[in-house]
Each structure stands twice: as C-alpha cells, then as structure tokens.
C-alpha cells in the first residue's frame, strides 16, 4: 500500500527537510505552500515518488477545506499529516499590524486545526498506522513578550495536540508535537529575529527535522529538540510565569 504524506510549508526550512526524509522512505508527497514555482522545482527532484503540488495561502479563511477537497478530487488518501507551515513576528503587540497578527493566528492555529479535522476521519478509518506531526515551538512553554501572539499560537498547538493525542489513545492514529527552539531557516528573517539573543545558538534545520521525524515514527507525543532547549522548557515549568516572561523578553533583545 502506498504511504502518502501531506506537508504544509514544504518549500523551505523544516518543511523541505521533511520532504527529503519522507521521499527517502518511499512516501508519495502532497506539498502545500504559496510558492508554486518552488514546489514544482522540488517535485522535479523526486521522479521516484508521486508528488502533488497544492498552491495555497493557508492564512485564508477556507484554505484548509479547499486543500482537503483538492486532495479528495485527486483521489489521494493521506496517511501522514505534517502541519508545519507557520510564521512569527517580532515587535510590541500594539505596534505590529493587527492584520498580520490575525494572519498568523489563521495560519498557525486555524489551518492546522482544520486540516487535522478534515483528514482525521480517513486516517482513523485506515487499517494501517496513521500519524500527525504538529509543529509547535519551545515558545509554547511560556509567555513571549515582543512576540506575544506567536508564543500564544504555539501554546495552542501544544495544548491542542497533546489533548488530541490522548483522545486518540488506543486508535491507529498518533499525534506528535515538535517543539524546536531557534533553528536556521527563513523563519528568523520573516520574523525579524535574526539578531536576537535567542537566535545566537540556532540548530540546523536538518538536525531538528530528523529529531521530529524519529519522534513521529515512534509515536512519541512531544519532542523538544536539542539539550539546551529541553533544559529551558523543563525550567519554564518550575518558574513563576511572570519570571519566565521576563526571560523570554530578555532573549528577544539584540545579542
């Protein structure tokens, strides 16, 4: 039976690393992002896999449903869903454009939730193992002043995914949440955080994706990448939230 993975944000960074790993393991691929040219270029490298390209801005209101309908119209069944697309923004909440912050909520939260909702029934009905990987962040573990909405979106992703994993106990579907810390991708330039203290020790996108991939295949519920990030997330559990917020504000400043 063919294994097919749908990966959002497949054109760069972690998403592109996942494309390489799933293709190497013989999966057929459904790539979702805005940059069609880049996805067609990626497709041209994988003649051994069936690759379907879906050009979609997932920050649009009905995008997730449209993706689901396009996948169904193509007769494709998804066994693995990787909700990876997302972005952040650095700045004071009241000084950033509200339209950009709403776009972030739509992409990081709504699209991820709705894609999971639409694809879950067929994944549950499958007689084979099915897997969901939701990309959160170490931002999920504390409030994040100067990136307030971004941190909150990732707290949602972690909470939602852990709850869903528990709901799906004893089914064929596992839900894994990947919580990377700073990672070398286009994220930092999009979010305008390249010069911050938090990005001084960024991990490579390959290392992070490999940890996420291993966790996904083993059905692990939550994976925090890298030992420093694991320690930070662990410490955040024991600190008062107000102090954790002060530390997050400090690392958001220029190095």
Ligand X SMILES: NC(=O)c1ccc[n+]([C@@H]2O[C@H](COP(=O)([O-])OP(=O)(O)OC[C@H]3O[C@@H](n4cnc5c(N)ncnc54)[C@H](OP(=O)(O)O)[C@@H]3O)[C@@H](O)[C@H]2O)c1
Catalog residues that contact ligand X under the rule CB under 6 A: 8-15, 33-35, 38, 56-59, 84-88, 107, 135, 137, 180, 182-183, 185-187, 190
- CA 14, 222, 130 angle in degrees (round to 5)? 75
CB of 87 to ligand X, least distance (A): 5
233 closest CA partner among 243, 244, 242: 244
**What is the total residue count of the chain?**
255
- Of the two residues 171 and 204, which places its CB atom closer to ligand X in the complex? 204
- Of the two residues 61 and 125, which places its CB atom closer to ligand X in the complex? 61
- Of the two residues 129 and 190, which places its CB atom closer to ligand X in the complex? 190
What DSSP state is assigned to residue 126? Answer: -
CB of 254 to ligand X, least distance (A): 17
- Of the two residues 59 and 176, which places its CB atom closer to ligand X in the complex? 59
| Residues pairing with 25 in the sheet | none
CB of 9 to ligand X, least distance (A): 3
CB of 89 to ligand X, least distance (A): 11
Q: Show Cβ contacts of residue 202 under 8 Å, excluding neighbours closer than 6 positions.
A: 181, 182, 183, 184, 188
- Of the two residues 14 and 130, which places its CB atom closer to ligand X in the complex? 14
Given a contact cutoff of 8 angstroms between Cβ atoms, the answer to whether 9 and 15 are in contact is yes
- Which helix (H) or strand (E) segment holds residue 41: the answer is helix 36-44
CB of 196 to ligand X, least distance (A): 11
């Amino acid at each position: 039976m063919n294994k097919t993975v749908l990966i959002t944000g497949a054109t760069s960074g972690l998403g592109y690393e996942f494309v390489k790993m799933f293709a190497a393991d013989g999966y057929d691929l459904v790539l979702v992002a805005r940059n069609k040219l880049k996805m067609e270029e990626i497709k041209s490298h994988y003649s051994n896999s069936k690759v379907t390209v879906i050009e979609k801005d997932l920050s649009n209101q009905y995008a997730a449903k449209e993706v689901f309908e396009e996948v169904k119209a193509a007769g494709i069944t998804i066994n693995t869903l990787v909700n990876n697309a997302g972005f952040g923004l650095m700045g004071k909440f009241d000084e950033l454009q509200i339209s950009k912050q709403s776009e972030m909520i739509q992409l990081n939260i709504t699209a991820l939730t709705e894609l999971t909702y639409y694809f879950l029934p067929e994944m549950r009905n499958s007689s084979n193992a099915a897997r969901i990987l939701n990309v959160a962040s170490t931002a999920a573990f504390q409030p994040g002043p100067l990136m307030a909405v971004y941190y909150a979106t990732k707290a949602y992703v972690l909470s939602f995914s852990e709850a869903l994993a528990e709901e799906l106990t004893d089914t064929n579907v596992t839900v894994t949440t990947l919580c990377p810390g700073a990672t070398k991708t286009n994220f930092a330039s999009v979010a305008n955080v390249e010069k911050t203290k938090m990005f001084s020790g960024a991990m490579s996108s390959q290392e992070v994706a490999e940890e996420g991939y291993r966790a996904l295949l083993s059905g692990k519920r939550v994976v925090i990448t890298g030992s420093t990030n694991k320690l930070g997330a662990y410490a955040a559990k024991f600190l008062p939230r107000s102090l954790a917020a002060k530390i997050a504000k400090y690392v958001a400043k220029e190095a």
